[in-house]
Amino acid sequence: MDQIFLNSLRKTTARWRTEDALVADDATGVNLFRLRMMWPVAVALNGVLLIVFLWRWLGTEPPPAQADWNLRLVWTHLFIVAVALGMGWLAHKAGQRRHTLVARWLGTGNAALTMLIGLLLVAVDQAITPNITAFLLACLVAGGVMYLRPRVAAVLYTLSYLAFFKVMGWTQLQPELLLSNRINGLAACVLGCVGSCFMWRQFCTIRLQQRQLEKANAELNQKQRDLERLTRQDGLTGLFNRNTFVELSRRELDRAQRQGSATTILLLDLDHFKRVNDTWGHPAGDAVLRHVATLASSTVRSTDLVGRLGGEEFIVLLPNTSAEAGRRLAEKLRERLEASVVVWEGTRIPVTASIGLSSTTAKEKRDFDTLYTEADKALYLAKQRGRNRVV
């Protein structure tokens, strides 16, 4: 049982160390933000206390012991103001650069200085009261405001207690009160360290859960984008599918009518494509289709739409294009297809296409279905007249 417990403890400790390293930069960012928020408050509060104790020291004539205590508090709060200003300046210089050495250790330095200040206040107060409330509050604030890694917190609180133990021996001369303060100081350090470790583990858990949620959301968004792409694009060629092409074409025709511009449609059908599948197989046919899609997309303008209707049929919408300009582009596309070949497993596969063309002006106001029907008739004539031509 002991061995099982030790193995489980080692695994848990190793997992925690890994998680600590994963969130270290996030903790540094939070610490820097809190430092930038805290230092003005610390300067203002201790500035007021500095003025109060300085006024008491200058404006009254208390007994020598109280005057000495008052003066020490003046110097202590002056030290706190200087420390707060210095920490604020360092936090400002660090900015958002979490990976620098200064940024990483600012939180630890602030926690150490907080406990040092608590120790100084208690040491000064021992002249008039055995109370160690300032050190207790400093231990709780140091671990509650700054995120400290557990190993760092353990070292920091251990050193703080050793310093507290020594300083109490210098400043508290009554044995009973000295023992009580040392016991209470130990309790303060233990409570502060346990609270600090608890806060760190809570921060690790929450931050890692947030990352998992962010990752899941990113994956979901990517799947949604992929799904949208699949519903709008042809899976083989990456061109617009039939439904998307028709939808975009109708929008473009409406825009063309409002702006008074001409629109042309090209309907392409690959010649003897069945022969390619029968001779070299469907993978070769797929390679031919991808080649035609790439060549067509690179031939037309970026504002033109290219889609695959299905099988070996492609369609191109040419906005702001007259019938003559559309014919010239169709001839260019036909010639590029004829001049190109698809190399498949060492075999050169020739590619040609018959192209039917239909065009409309804004005044004619012909819709997509009419243009498509006319282009299909023209494509049929191109096939009848010997293929590899524009009609």
25: confidence class by pLDDT, cuts 50, 70, 90: confident
Give the pLDDT of residue 84: 86
- Name the percent of the chain lying above pLDDT 90: 46
Mean pLDDT to the nearest integer, 320-345: 92
331 vs 64, more confident:
331
Which of 61, 252, 312, 313 is flagged as catalytic? 312
The number of angstroms, rounded, from the C-alpha of 195 to the middle of its chain's C-alpha atoms is 30
346: confidence class by pLDDT, cuts 50, 70, 90: confident
- Cβ pair 388, 353 in contact under 8 A: yes
Give the pLDDT of residue 101: 74
For residues 189 and 132, what is the distance between their CA atoms, to the nearest angstrom? 12
Mean pLDDT to the nearest integer, 76-90: 87
Beta pairing partners, 347: 344
Give the pLDDT of residue 96: 62
5: confidence class by pLDDT, cuts 50, 70, 90: low
| Each residue's pLDDT tens digit, 215-244 | 889 888 888 877 766 677 888 888 888 888
| Each residue's pLDDT tens digit, 279-310 | 898 999 999 999 999 999 999 988 899 999 88
User: What mean pLDDT is reported for the chain?
Assistant: 88
Mean pLDDT to the nearest integer, 374-384: 94
Predicted confidence (pLDDT) at residue 364 exceeds the cutoff of 90? no
| Each residue's pLDDT tens digit, 28-40 | 888 888 888 888 8
For residues 24 and 365, what is the distance between their CA atoms, to the nearest angstrom? 65
| Each residue's pLDDT tens digit, 144-201 | 889 999 999 999 999 999 999 999 999 988 999 999 999 999 999 999 999 999 999 9
Mean pLDDT to the nearest integer, 365-386: 92
- Going from the C-alpha of 371 to that of each of 15, 245, 307, 390, the distances in angstroms are 66, 14, 15, 16
Predicted confidence (pLDDT) at residue 382 exceeds the cutoff of 90? yes
- 25, two tokens: 């930069």
- Name the percent of the chain lying above pLDDT 70: 96
Domain ranges of the chain: 2-217, 242-384
385: confidence class by pLDDT, cuts 50, 70, 90: very high
371: confidence class by pLDDT, cuts 50, 70, 90: very high
Residue 188 burial by Cβ neighbours in a 10 Å radius (0-12, 13-18, 19+): buried
- Cβ pair 20, 135 in contact under 8 A: no
Q: Which of 57, 87, 55, 82 is nearest to 69 (CA)?
A: 57
User: Architecture of 242-384 per CATH?
Assistant: 2-Layer Sandwich (3.30)
Predicted confidence (pLDDT) at residue 376 exceeds the cutoff of 90? yes
Give the pLDDT of residue 63: 74
Q: Among 46-50, 138-142, 157-161, which is the least confidently predicted range?
A: 46-50
Give the pLDDT of residue 15: 79
364 catalytically annotated = no
97: confidence class by pLDDT, cuts 50, 70, 90: low
Give the pLDDT of residue 362: 81
Predicted confidence (pLDDT) at residue 6 exceeds the cutoff of 80? no
